[in-house]
Amino acid sequence: MAIEVRIPTILRSHTGGAKVVEGTGDTLNDLLSDLDARHPGLRGRLVTDDGGLHRFVNVYVNDEDVRFLGALDTKLSDGDTVTILPAVAGG
Contact positions toward other proteins, by CB under 8 A?
8-11, 45, 54-58, 60, 63-65, 67-68, 83, 85-91
CB of 87 to other proteins, least distance (A): 4
CB-CB neighbours of 65 under 10 Å: 14
Q: Which amino acid, residue 68?
A: F
* Ramachandran assignment for 41, one of left (phi > 0), alpha (psi -120 to 50 degrees), beta (any other): left
Which CB sits closer to other proteins, 51 or 91? 91
Q: Return the number of the residue (2 or 87) whose C-beta is nearest other proteins.
A: 87
Q: Compare residues 32 and 60 and give the one whose CB is closer to other proteins.
A: 60
Residue 74's SS3 state is: coil
